[in-house]
């Protein structure tokens, strides 16, 4: 089934997944970072203190995803979407209106939890479970919501800030989000609850990824991209300085990264259906690995562009491959639980990575050496993941 036919025959379900992924943009690091200065000023803290607070609320959000994420296996998707939307809107109100620092940070945590955490979890889990044929293409289509947000929101925010204060801008975005979801909740046909809530004995007998070696062997490969790309985003000034590049080139390369995610998602979805996610999992980080080598060897603006384009292509394929592998290894009936564990690990990694890389940067390590360490991390993750990938391939062929 081609993309056009898939979108025509399943536009309602795909629209729900696409909107969930697009809605996650309000909780993504790149978007929150646009408002770092006014939020820090409102909290009366420095930029460094904001970074620490941001890491703390991100780590807490990861634990909440680990606890709440499995409920998508038995709660009706429509109800789950309403709960996540309510949490996002409540977080926006607390972030912009609360007079107390702790409740403001709670609002920031809710935005991170519902954005990067639960909206992304809802979109990927719903599509991964509901589609058996053309799963890769379906995941590829809905994953376009994230790069669309990256392409559209920064210039939109820049334009609107000419007329609106930052808090009013958040209110407008929240109202727009509520309107879009209201139409989706009212007009679209939603799938029923996938199953009944398991009792305590059933939950104990279900999969526990953190106690399985294959999950830990697969995890470094799937975490390599978000960990290293987060480091590139957070420490862009040090990256460009050590590579003899300019911040202007970096800003333009970010747009290139967003655009590169589009073919990455569409090609990744097609290839996952044709070749299987196991084979694609062995090769999808190759463009990023080559980009790291180019950046270390060439440096300059060209090296920065290579990093962003190579990273964008790989990021476009990441969620497709991850969700498809989890289905093949643990089954679609437990996808919510397993994917919640993976999502929590991803959130933890993006919270810890800036601190670890910050130590290396403060120690005066040249960023080329840091890029070499990132490449080594990818290689180690690739080697460790070969056993679970082979198991996923055998499961997919049986």
In sequence order, the 6+-apart residues with CB closer than 8 A to the CB of 12 are 188, 189
Do 156 and 109 share a structural domain? yes
Give the residue with greater pLDDT, 364 vs 85.
85
Lowest-confidence region among 42-56, 83-97, 138-152: 42-56
pLDDT of residue 398: 44
pLDDT of residue 203: 55
Q: How confident is the model at residue 36 (pLDDT cuts 50, 70, 90)?
A: confident
Q: What is the mean pLDDT of residues 307-318?
A: 92
In sequence order, the 6+-apart residues with CB closer than 8 A to the CB of 55 are 351, 352, 354, 355
Would you say residue 202 lies in a domain? no
Do 347 and 295 share a structural domain? yes
Do 158 and 12 share a structural domain? yes
pLDDT exceeds cutoff 80 at 354: no
Which residue among 155, 172, 197 closes a domain? 197
How far apart are alpha carbons 269 and 319 in whole angstroms?
A: 10
Do 348 and 220 share a structural domain? yes
How far apart are alpha carbons 98 and 271 in whole angstroms?
A: 48
pLDDT exceeds cutoff 70 at 372: yes
Mean pLDDT of the chain: 85
Do 66 and 35 share a structural domain? yes
pLDDT exceeds cutoff 70 at 199: no
Give the residue with greater pLDDT, 200 vs 98.
98
Give the residue with greater pLDDT, 380 vs 72.
380
pLDDT exceeds cutoff 80 at 146: yes
Do 248 and 190 share a structural domain? no
Would you say residue 383 lies in a domain? yes
% the chain with pLDDT above 90: 29
How far apart are alpha carbons 371 and 209 in whole angstroms?
A: 30
pLDDT exceeds cutoff 70 at 39: yes
How far apart are alpha carbons 36 and 268 in whole angstroms?
A: 33
**Structure confidence by residue, pLDDT tens digits, 51-78:** 778 878 888 888 888 888 888 888 888 9
Q: What is the mean pLDDT of residues 76-82?
A: 91
Pull the structure tokens for residue 382: 């690739």
Q: How many domains does the chain have?
A: 2
Q: How many residues does the chain have?
A: 398
CATH of the domain at 362: 1.20.1250.20
How far apart are alpha carbons 42 and 132 in whole angstroms?
A: 48
Do 332 and 214 share a structural domain? yes
Q: What is the mean pLDDT of residues 156-179?
A: 90
Q: How confident is the model at residue 156 (pLDDT cuts 50, 70, 90)?
A: confident
Domain that holds residue 92: 1-197
Do 245 and 211 share a structural domain? yes
pLDDT exceeds cutoff 70 at 396: no
Which residue among 139, 173, 197 closes a domain? 197
pLDDT exceeds cutoff 60 at 205: no
Q: What is the pTM of this model?
A: 0.79
How far apart are alpha carbons 20 and 142 in whole angstroms?
A: 8
How far apart are alpha carbons 287 and 289 in whole angstroms?
A: 6
Would you say residue 235 lies in a domain? yes
Which residue among 147, 163, 197 closes a domain? 197
% the chain with pLDDT above 70: 95
Do 282 and 185 share a structural domain? no
Three-state SS string over the chain comes to CCHHHHHHHCHHHHHHHHHHHHHHHHHCHHHHHCCHHHHHHHHCCCHHHHHHHHHHHHHHHHHHHHHHHHHHHCCCHHHHHHHHHHHHHHHHHHHHHCCCHHHHHHHHHHHHHHHHHHHHHHHHHHHHHHCCCCHHHHHHHHCCHHHHHHHHHHHHHHHHCCCCCHHHHHHHHHHHHHHHHHHHHHHCCCCCCCCCCCCHHHHHHCCCHHHCHHHHHHHHHHHHHHHHHHHHHHCHHHHHHHCCCCHHHHHHHHHHHHHHHHHHHHHHHHHHHHHCHHHHHCCCCHHHHHHHHHHHHHCHHHHHHHHHHHHHHHHHHHHHHHHHHHHHHHCHHHHHHHHHHHHHHHHHHHHHHHHHHHHHHHCCCCHHHHHHHHHHHHHHHHHHCHHHHHHHHHHHHC
Do 159 and 33 share a structural domain? yes
pLDDT exceeds cutoff 50 at 33: yes
Do 158 and 26 share a structural domain? yes
Do 193 and 212 share a structural domain? no
pLDDT of residue 206: 64
pLDDT of residue 314: 93
């Amino acid at each position: 089934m081609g993309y056009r036919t898939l979108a025509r025959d399943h536009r309602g379900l795909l629209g729900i997944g696409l909107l969930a992924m697009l809605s996650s943009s309000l909780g993504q690091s790149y978007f929150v970072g646009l408002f770092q200065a006014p939020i820090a000023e409102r909290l009366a803290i420095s930029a460094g203190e904001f970074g620490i607070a941001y890491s703390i609320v991100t780590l807490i959000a990861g634990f909440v995803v680990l606890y709440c994420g499995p409920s998508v296996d038995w709660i009706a998707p429509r109800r789950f979407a309403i709960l996540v939307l309510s949490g996002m809107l409540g977080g926006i109100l607390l972030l912009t209106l609360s007079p107390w620092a702790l409740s403001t940070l709670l609002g920031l945590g809710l935005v991170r939890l519902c954005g990067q955490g639960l909206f992304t979890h809802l979109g990927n889990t719903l599509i991964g479970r509901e589609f058996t044929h053309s799963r890769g293409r379906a995941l590829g289509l809905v994953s376009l919501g994230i790069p669309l947000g990256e392409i559209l929101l920064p210039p939109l925010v820049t334009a609107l800030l000419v007329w609106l204060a930052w808090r009013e801008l958040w209110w407008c975005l929240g109202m727009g989000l509520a309107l879009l979801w209201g139409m989706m909740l009212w007009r679209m046909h939603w799938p029923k609850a996938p199953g009944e809530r398991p009792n305590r004995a059933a939950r104990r007998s279900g999969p526990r990824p953190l106690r399985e070696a294959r999950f830990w062997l697969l995890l470094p490969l799937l975490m390599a991209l978000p960990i290293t790309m987060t480091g590139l985003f957070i420490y862009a000034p040090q990256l460009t300085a050590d590579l003899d590049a300019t911040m202007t080139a970096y800003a333009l390369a970010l747009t290139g990264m967003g655009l590169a995610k589009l073919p990455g998602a569409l090609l990744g979805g097609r290839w996952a259906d044709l070749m299987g996610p196991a084979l694609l999992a062995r090769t999808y980080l190759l463009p990023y690995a080559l980009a790291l080598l180019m950046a270390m060897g060439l440096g300059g603006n060209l090296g920065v562009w290579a990093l962003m384009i190579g990273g964008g292509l790989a990021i476009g394929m990441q969620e497709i491959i991850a969700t498809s592998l989890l289905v093949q290894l643990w089954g679609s009936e437990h996808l919510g639980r397993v994917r919640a564990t993976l999502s929590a690990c991803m959130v933890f990694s993006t919270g810890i990575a800036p601190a670890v890389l910050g130590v290396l940067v403060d120690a005066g390590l040249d960023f080329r050496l840091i890029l070499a360490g990132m490449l080594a991390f990818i290689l180690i993750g690739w080697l460790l993941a070969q056993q679970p990938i082979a198991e996923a391939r055998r499961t997919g062929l049986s």
